Amino acid sequence: MTEQIELFVNDEEHFITVDTSEMLVDVLRDRLGLKGAKIGCDRGVCGACTVLVNGDPTASCSTFAWRVDGARIVTIEGLAGEEGALDPVQQAFFEAGALQCGYCTPGMILLAKSLLARNPHPDRAEITDWMGANICRCTGYKMIIDAVEIAAATGEGQ
Amino acid sequence: MTDMPDLRVAGVQAPRKDAREKVTGAARYTVDVDLPGMLHAKLLRSPVAHARLTRIDARAARDLPGVHAVLTRDDLGGLQPTYGYFIKDQPIVAMDKLRYVGDPIAAVAAQDEVTAVRALELITFEYEELDPVPDVASALRVGAVELFEDAPMGIVPAYGRGASAELRPRPNVCYRFAYETGEDDAFDHCDHVFEDDFVFGRQQHFHLEPFVTVAREENGQIEIWTSSQNPFPLRKELSRVFQHPENRIRVHVPYVGAGYGAKNNCKTEPIAILLARLSGRPVRFCMTNEENFLTQTQHAAKIRIKTGVMADGTFVARAGEILLDSGAYADASPLVAEKAGYRLHSLYKWRHVKTVCDCVMTNTSPAGPFRGFGGTQASWASESQIDMIARRLNIDPYDLRLKNLLALGDPYVPGESGMDSDIGEGLRLVADRIGYHGRIRTPGRGMGLSIGFKDSGGVNKPASARIKISTTGAIYLQCGSIEIGQGITTALSAITAEILNAPAERVHYPDVDTDHTPFDQGTNASSGIVVMGQAVARAANEVKARVLEFAAGQLDCDVSELTLDDWNIRRGNESHPLNLMIMRTYGGTGFEFTGEGYHKAEMDHEAPLETRCVAWEYGWGAAEVEVDEQTGLIKVLQLVVSGDAGRAINPAVCRGQDEGSAVMGLGGALFETMLYDGVTLANGNALTYRVPLATDLPENFVSILQEQGHGPGPFGSKGVGEGCMLPVASAIANAVEDAIGVRVTEMPLTPERVLAAIDARNST
């Protein structure tokens, strides 16, 4: 069974015919060529596939594409500004070196974006709690938490 | 600390080379490779742990529309269809037997994964079940069913002084490593001999990028893109398996979404290649996270240590037996056994050491390389027992360690290289930072210390590198170290830029491609800086010498008058742009200068493992815990770890390695382990296998990066990345005993085990 849906991905409008069994991550990666969202556990646990759906961090591996018909979706490719200027959260991860293999990084950055949109000045405990939603097997998290603190301090989300 | 040279590019804080691509989502991994006409592969896996495969019929699967190839044991003709490291016992798909739940039976390549899964359901097979061998104890029971009735093809490498090994020393043991030095009557002269048993759990690597390969075969050339840590040994093994010339197998490695040891040697590659050959189309074989659990794990272990000491705490002799649970296939078990056995006695002065390590086959997922590589098992047992002995002798564990530690420069064992860190200094740092000395006793709280170590740089490991510089000064650093997250492209580019007096941005590190990249034995054993780093430094010095010689010829002067300044030649006050000098000589089409570098530790038969250890990697740990005696729950209040980078080429990258490995160690210490219900894995997925989250970090989690300056790598550097995993579990267990007076000897330190230890204490 198929369905016609409309997605606003990184401010671009797409009309796509999807199979009702198709996952959002596959539409993004295979139909739209947005490879930044990664499949890790494929069970909505690890968060490597995190994208923002109407501002909410969402496991795109476990979200049917038809469920987000009409939604505004932000992927990692949608963050950098003109001429490749990094978004403040990207910049903070870049400066803090808050990444290793990089597989979780797009999801972590989008998760942090969603925190700062809700709470522009989280304390360290709030950051830790929020970032505890996604798995990073490489960094030990501390430098990721540092990066979110830097992003908050530079006024992201205001 | 030794005097360190002033550095301009290396040793200073700089962004990672891969940071921009990784924060923008532009970084490309094997999972992102998409070839025209590419098929998708899925695997049929064994539902039983131990059986003889009597019949398999895949005709219905082949007939399903959308299916392009089906692979069973009937399709292995003309191949050497088994692979492994020292022992070649693992078939591409099951041939005569099924040896664990999840053992590959058949594979399908279809137009999409859904069709491939449907096709698998159409494959029928029959088997005769055999008694399963779920664990080490049942494998070693007299009369136990053997996983391999006939000895698989295998070799024992040459060993040096005191070390030896044996294939199949007893049923269900594929390899035995032994090490001995000194006289074993040393135990007779001890005031006390303590014998203790330890159990080590079984972590899964949990790399987020699964095992994945894209393969094609065109015009007799096999070409793969794969998530691998060791493309060159992989190429050699594929050449043997497929009976295909190495120079007709091309391996590309894009960014790797981590490995922690898992991505060495054959994983998804043979099946992807064979399906590509059978279908005539490119094939993508990407496992699921659940399949990772069925493909590679850490070694569970049982360890017994006997330690002889004098009443004043002087160490005399240590003997140990390690039983590694190797799972169903030998994989890297013999190499892990070498390292576990060789490290068990740890960094203390002994008159006698004797260790035996057996690799025991069981009907469980194959165990292989895992960060720490045998050192984790050894450190857990060794450093736990040091504290137990200290308490028995009524000596502070800190003082007992300091009294017996090897000093800087002392050989590890006769014939081995010397200690290249002041080990006591590292212990002092972590103890001071946690507030170990003069602490005020609080009920339920305690502190523990530990020193983990491993050798860094691999055994007898060669590496080669090539540096090219174009007319315009664009630098190509070609070497086979894989960027798996550890920051090796950043570090090696910084070393190159430092030597060539260029900005790091001018160095390009092309993707590894075995057709063009110089040979490397693999990205493992914390060898990137101490082995490849030395090859890169030589290549940089060589290309620099060529550039200077060329310029001296052009300027008709002696090389000693010239220096390289970015892409200009300086001679006194004059500056000569090199691009102009090159075009004057070679014309407007330009030229490239090339330098080659090679490094390998020399063979040395006096060294137990045939080469002296390149560098020693230490991990110092200190933990403070609070234990709830009602629930058995351990809360880690403080965790302080420290590694010694010798000279940190990029301090933030080193810090990330130390913190990441410490948190992986924390998971293994407290809750991470693969749970088997008999022979069935009970928690083989991301929902039920718990890895540490940000919320699991101790309130006070600190890593201290030491730069003691004694490393053999460029500018005094040495490897990091594994060390800080090693001390965590034993530091926590030692802290638990300090807190509530009970000793837990089995990992992970779950509430159940803590409560059982409390009950045992209360009942005596």
Residue B477 located in a structural domain: yes
Q: Does residue B410 sit in the same domain as residue B557?
A: no
Residue A158: predicted pLDDT:
44
Residue B696 located in a structural domain: yes
Residue A156: predicted pLDDT:
52
Question: Which of B24, B697, B724 is the best mutation test for A, with the most CBs of A within 10 A?
Answer: B24
Q: Does residue A29 sit in the same domain as residue A64?
A: yes
- Closest residue on chain A to B21 (Cα): A102
Closest of B471, B362, B405, B381 to residue B133, by C-alpha: B362
Please count the residue pairs, one from chain A and one from chain B, whose beta carbons lie less than 8 angstroms apart. Answer: 162
Burial class (CB in 10 A: 0-12, 13-18, 19+), B602: exposed
B24:A102 CB<8 A: no
Q: Does residue B573 sit in the same domain as residue B465?
A: yes
Residue A158 located in a structural domain: no
Residue B223: predicted pLDDT:
98
Per DSSP, which regions of B566-664 are E strands?
568-571, 574-577, 592-599, 615-627, 634-644
Residue B705 touches chain A, beta carbons under 8 Å = no
Range of the domain at B705: 379-457+615-762
Task: Give B9-57 pLDDT, tens digit per residue.
Answer: 888 889 999 999 999 999 999 999 999 999 999 999 999 999 999 999 9
Task: Give A58-112 pLDDT, tens digit per residue.
Answer: 999 999 999 999 999 999 999 988 888 999 999 999 999 999 999 999 999 999 9
**Residue B531 pLDDT grade (very low, low, confident, very high; cuts 50, 70, 90):** very high
The CATH number that applies at residue A115 is 1.10.150.120
Residue A155: predicted pLDDT:
72
Q: What Cα–Cα distance (Å) separates residue B654 from each residue in B171, B645, B646?
A: 44, 7, 11
Residue B9 located in a structural domain: no
Q: Does residue A139 sit in the same domain as residue A92?
A: yes
B289:A42 CB<8 A: yes
- Distance (Å, rounded) from C-alpha A72 to C-alpha A15? 13
For residue B4, pLDDT over 80 is answered with no
Q: What Cα–Cα distance (Å) separates residue A40 from each residue in A37, B20, B23, B272?
A: 10, 21, 17, 20
The CATH number that applies at residue A63 is 3.10.20.30
Count of structural domains, chain A: 2
Measure in Å the smallest separation between the Cα of B207 and chain A Cα atoms: 7
> Angle of helix A142-153 relative to helix B651-670, nearest 10 degrees?
120
Residue B764: predicted pLDDT:
78
For residue B298, pLDDT over 70 is answered with yes
Burial class (CB in 10 A: 0-12, 13-18, 19+), B757: buried
For residue B1, pLDDT over 80 is answered with no
Task: Give B589-612 pLDDT, tens digit per residue.
Answer: 999 999 999 999 999 999 999 999
Among B556, B573, B599, identify where a domain stops: B599
Q: Does residue A62 sit in the same domain as residue A111?
A: no
- Chain B positions in Cβ-Cβ contact with residue A91 (cut-off 8 Å): 23
Residue B139 located in a structural domain: no
Among A39, A59, A78, identify where a domain stops: A78
Residue B417: predicted pLDDT:
97
The single residue listed with the structure tokens 């074993």 is: B184
Q: Does residue A6 sit in the same domain as residue A69?
A: yes
What are the beta bridge partners of residue B571? B562, B574
Among A25, A47, A78, identify where a domain stops: A78
Q: Does residue A64 sit in the same domain as residue A86?
A: no
Provide, rounded to the nearest whole percent, the portion of chain B with pLDDT above 90. Answer: 98
Residue A88 located in a structural domain: yes
| Cis, bond preceding B748 (omega within 30 deg of 0) | yes
Among B599, B634, B662, identify where a domain stops: B599
- Chain A positions in Cβ-Cβ contact with residue B205 (cut-off 8 Å): 137
Using DSSP's 3-state secondary structure scheme, residue B216 falls into: strand
Q: Does residue A54 sit in the same domain as residue A96?
A: no
Provide, rounded to the nearest whole percent, the portion of chain B with pLDDT above 70. Answer: 99
Q: Does residue A64 sit in the same domain as residue A111?
A: no
Residue B273 touches chain A, beta carbons under 8 Å = no
* Beta carbons of B396 and B591 less than 8 angstroms apart: no
Task: Give B59-104 pLDDT, tens digit per residue.
Answer: 999 999 999 999 999 999 999 999 999 999 999 999 999 999 999 9
Two tokens, residue B90? 């693992």
Q: Three-state secondary structure along B156-202?
A: CCCCCCCEEEEEEEECCEEEEEEEEECCHHHHHHCCEEEEEEEEECC
Q: Does residue A57 sit in the same domain as residue A115?
A: no
Q: Does residue B428 sit in the same domain as residue B488?
A: no
Task: Give B301-335 pLDDT, tens digit per residue.
Answer: 999 999 999 999 999 999 999 999 999 999 999 99
Range of the domain at A59: 2-78
Q: Does residue A32 sit in the same domain as residue A60?
A: yes
Q: Does residue B469 sit in the same domain as residue B446?
A: no
Among B235, B270, B293, identify where a domain stops: B293
Residue B730 located in a structural domain: yes
Residue B322 located in a structural domain: no
- Distance (Å, rounded) from C-alpha A25 to C-alpha A37? 7
Among A78, A95, A127, identify where a domain stops: A78
Q: Does residue B698 sit in the same domain as residue B574?
A: no
Q: Does residue B119 sit in the same domain as residue B245?
A: yes
A97:B19 CB<8 A: yes
Q: What is the mean pLDDT of residues B495-514?
A: 97
- Distance (Å, rounded) from C-alpha B588 to C-alpha B221? 36
- Chain A positions in Cβ-Cβ contact with residue B258 (cut-off 8 Å): 100-101, 103, 137-138
For residue B159, pLDDT over 70 is answered with yes
What are the beta bridge partners of residue A6? A15
- Chain A positions in Cβ-Cβ contact with residue B22 (cut-off 8 Å): 99, 102, 105
Q: Does residue B451 sit in the same domain as residue B465?
A: no
Instruction: Give the ipTM of the model, two decimals please.
Output: 0.98
* Beta carbons of B70 and B107 less than 8 angstroms apart: yes
Residue B357 located in a structural domain: no
Residue A120 located in a structural domain: yes
- Chain A positions in Cβ-Cβ contact with residue B669 (cut-off 8 Å): none
Q: Does residue B501 sit in the same domain as residue B584?
A: yes
Count of structural domains, chain B: 3
Kindly report the average pLDDT of chain B as a whole number: 97
Q: Does residue B115 sit in the same domain as residue B237?
A: yes
Residue B364 located in a structural domain: no
**Residue B3 pLDDT grade (very low, low, confident, very high; cuts 50, 70, 90):** low
Pairing mode, if any, of strands B153-154 and A72-74? unpaired
Q: Does residue B77 sit in the same domain as residue B51?
A: yes
DSSP state for residue B206 in the 8-state scheme: -
For residue B561, pLDDT over 60 is answered with yes
Q: What is the mean pLDDT of residues B684-694?
A: 97
Residue A62 located in a structural domain: yes
For residue B270, pLDDT over 60 is answered with yes
B289:A79 CB<8 A: no
Q: Does residue A137 sit in the same domain as residue A90?
A: yes
Kindly report the average pLDDT of chain A as a whole number: 96
- Distance (Å, rounded) from C-alpha B38 to C-alpha B607? 50
Residue B2: predicted pLDDT:
52
Q: Does residue A128 sit in the same domain as residue A94?
A: yes
The CATH number that applies at residue B497 is 3.30.365.10
Q: Does residue B634 sit in the same domain as residue B730?
A: yes
For residue B447, pLDDT over 70 is answered with yes
Q: Does residue B574 sit in the same domain as residue B638?
A: no
Q: Does residue A21 sit in the same domain as residue A62?
A: yes
